[in-house]
Amino acid sequence: MIQIKESAPRGIAITVFLIVLTLLLGACADHKQIKSKGSAGTEKPKAPNTEKSDQQVIPISIPDGEFYKSFGWLTEEEIVYITNVGQSSNVYRYHLLTGKSELIYKSEFPIVTVQISPSKSFILIHSSPSSYEGLVTIIDTKGNEKLKQSFPSYELSFEWNPYDDSKVLVSAFSEDWDFNVFLLDFKFGEKKELSLPQPFNKWMSANELAFINWDQEHPSLFAPLIKKGLNNGVEKTLFPTVLQFSTFKDLLLKIEINDHSQLARYSFLDKDLQEIYSFSNPLLTKYSDWLVPYFDYNEKEKEFITLNAVKDGEADVYTEGFNLVAYDLKKDSSQIILTGLKNAPIMISPSGKTILYGERFDKIIDLDTKKIFDLVKE
């Protein structure tokens, strides 16, 4: 296990942090239906079905403590979940078809969150010894510690490098929302503070980051999308007005608003920033911003899955539910999978056939049978 020597943090004040955070979940209003560059599926989708399926997915029988949350896929048949036992937490890997829970790590402190690396080889554990300290532990899938590092912080956020699993961005926030951004390299035991104007950054390539450059003095719903090289420090504006963005390996998703139709336009661009697919959706308004529903992307199948509102309106009074829609970037097509769902986080399995769903990822959606299963045994 590598211990990294702590260095003194350097805060950069961001007085409008909470506003910026909500802006990243923006949305717009319009009454048009989904308009896809591909051909939308015409088959009428089935309503959610919570019956157990022929796949024999066995719900988790909690071995010790109380179920907190599941955190993602290790393989097509294995997930990671956490239980809380008093003030400590346990990390388990669970086989969906055998029902076997394997304890791989015990934390003496409550676990805040867990992130699995893009290659599924490592697990990042963020625990909280106190309100003003975050402890980051990185283990392999057998539970062997690779790194343990403490950060003076009120909150932490993380971004794995999809091109190099040994590197993780860590943004550490104080109670006043000052922040420092660090690059952890647990392969070489290095911790380096980066000079970045924004706390939320994503990987554009192995050595380039992207961020929306929000103006702290003049808050707006849109801002430029900037790329910055880590080696040379050069910044370049990619797009002038972006509502939200995400990056996947060799793929950029940018979400903008069409001024004429007032629809949100989702555009997918390759590593040369050439558009390869796009579609438009109505989005819901909130009190001071917009709501972009949850989504995920399956790199293997080149499939983007998202929850879509069926019409425009105000998020607080919207009752029509959300459609779960799959967009195939290879076939240039889309298909409605399920209707009437809540807007909740989703995480696609490696094969793209199954989804973890819910605020605690305590449901599983089978995309072939269109059935929803309870993950935890009551």
Give me the DSSP letters along 44-102. Answer: PPBPPB-S--TT-PPPB--SSSEEEEEEEESSSSEEEEEEEETTEEEEEEEETTT--EE
Using the predicted structure, report yes or no on whether residue 43 has a pLDDT greater than 80: no
pLDDT at 15: 37
State the pLDDT at residue 38.
36
Tokens of 40: 């939308």
Examine the pLDDT at 47 and tell me if it is beyond 70: no
Spatial distance between the Cα atoms of 210 and 178, rounded to a whole number of angstroms: 20
Distance from C-alpha of 126 to C-alpha of 134, rounded to nearest angstrom: 7
Length of the chain: 378
Q: Is 3 inside a domain boundary?
A: no
Assign residue 302 the CATH number of its domain: 2.130.10.10
Spatial separation of the C-alpha atoms in residues 344 and 321, rounded to whole Å:
11
Name which residue leads in pLDDT, 245 or 32: 245
Number of structural domains (the chain) is 1
pLDDT above 60: residue 53: no
pLDDT at 263 over 50: yes
Q: What is the pLDDT of residue 297?
A: 98
pLDDT over 90 (residue 233): yes
Where does the pLDDT of residue 55 fall: very low under 50, low under 70, confident under 90, or very high at 90 and above?
A: low
d(CA 371, CA 177): 42
Q: How far apart are CA 99 and CA 47, in angstroms?
A: 27
Kindly report which listed range (102-116, 302-316, 339-353) carries the lowest average pLDDT score: 302-316
- Please check whether residue 184 is in contact with residue 190, taking contact to mean a CB–CB distance below 8 angstroms: yes
What is the amino acid identity at position 185? D
pLDDT band for position 290 (50/70/90)? Answer: confident
What is the per-residue pLDDT for 218?
Answer: 85
In-domain check, residue 127: yes
Tens of pLDDT, residue by residue over 120-172, are: 999 999 999 999 999 999 999 999 999 999 999 999 999 999 999 999 999 99
Which residues have CB under 8 Å from 272's CB, separation 6+? none
**Residue 33 pLDDT greater than 50, yes or no:** no
Judge contact between 109 and 127, C-beta under 8 A. yes
pLDDT at residue 275 tops 50: yes
Angle at 105 between CA 99 and CA 111, to 5 degrees: 100
In a domain, 173, yes or no: yes
> Percentage of residues in the chain with pLDDT exceeding 70?
85
CB 347, CB 363: distance < 8 Å: no
Among residues 343, 342, 340, 347, which one has the least CA distance to residue 365?
347
State yes or no: pLDDT of 96 exceeds 80. yes
pLDDT for 220 beyond 70? yes
Tell me which residue range forms the domain holding 253. Answer: 9-374
Is residue 123 classed exposed, middle or buried when 0-12, 13-18 and 19+ CB atoms within 10 A define those classes? Answer: buried
- 2 within a domain of the structure (yes/no): no
Give the SS3 label for residue 21. Answer: helix
In which element (H, E) is residue 18 found?
helix 17-23
Tokens for 112, please give them: 């805040």
Q: Please state, rounded to an integer, the average pLDDT across all residues of the chain.
A: 87
Edge to edge, the sheet with strand 66-73 lists 66-73, 78-85, 88-95, 101-107
C-alpha neighbours within 13 Å on the C-beta side of residue 51? 6
Confidence of residue 257 (pLDDT cuts 50, 70, 90): confident
